[in-house]
């Protein structure tokens, strides 16, 4: 992930790396207690985040290509990805909007087209 990790907050970059490796525990360690993940319009918090991570990593097979990074402010950044796979529609461009707290942990992740 090279250039992306130099601009993305450390824990957000670690999260994306862990997800790429299907390492749920490492991904969860990047999230603050009580963090919220919003995906497909549904909010996940607490133990539900683990269930969501486990389900999304095994439900479909896909490739994820990094397309860009946009820092929004001191605590928010957007990483853009292009996905292709066996999910409905087969192709999608997604924005992963990370919000980090003062301690650097991810407090909110919103995934949307």
What pLDDT is recorded for position 53?
94
Q: What is the mean pLDDT of residues 62-80?
A: 94
**Contact present, 9 and 17 (Cβ < 8 Å):** no
Q: What is the pLDDT of residues 9-22, one digit of tens each?
A: 899 999 999 999 99
What pLDDT is recorded for position 59?
85
Q: List Cα–Cα distances, 41 to 17, 81, 106, 110, 111, in angstroms.
A: 23, 18, 19, 9, 9
**Contact present, 57 and 37 (Cβ < 8 Å):** no
CA atoms of 19 and 8, how far apart (whole Å): 15
pTM comes to: 0.90
CB count within 10 Å of CB 19 equals 18
Residue 98 has what DSSP assignment? E
Number of folded domains that form the chain: 1
CATH number at residue 40: 3.10.450.50
Q: Which helix (H) or strand (E) holds 25?
A: helix 24-28
Domain containing residue 39: 2-112
Mean pLDDT, the chain, rounded, equals 92
Per-residue confidence at 50, pLDDT binned at 50, 70, 90? very high
What pLDDT is recorded for position 7?
66
Q: What is the mean pLDDT of residues 57-81?
A: 92
């Amino acid at each position: 992930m090279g250039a992306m990790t130099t601009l993305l907050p450390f824990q957000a970059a670690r999260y994306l790396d862990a997800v790429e490796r299907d390492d749920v525990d490492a991904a969860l360690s990047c999230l603050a207690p009580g963090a919220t993940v919003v995906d497909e319009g549904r909010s996940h918090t607490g133990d539900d985040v683990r269930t969501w991570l486990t389900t999304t990593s095994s439900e479909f097979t896909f490739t994820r290509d990094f397309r860009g990074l946009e820092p929004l402010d001191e605590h928010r950044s957007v990483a853009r990805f292009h996905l292709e796979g066996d999910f409905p529609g087969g192709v999608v461009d997604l924005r992963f909007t990370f919000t980090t707290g003062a301690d650097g942990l991810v407090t909110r992740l919103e995934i949307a087209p």
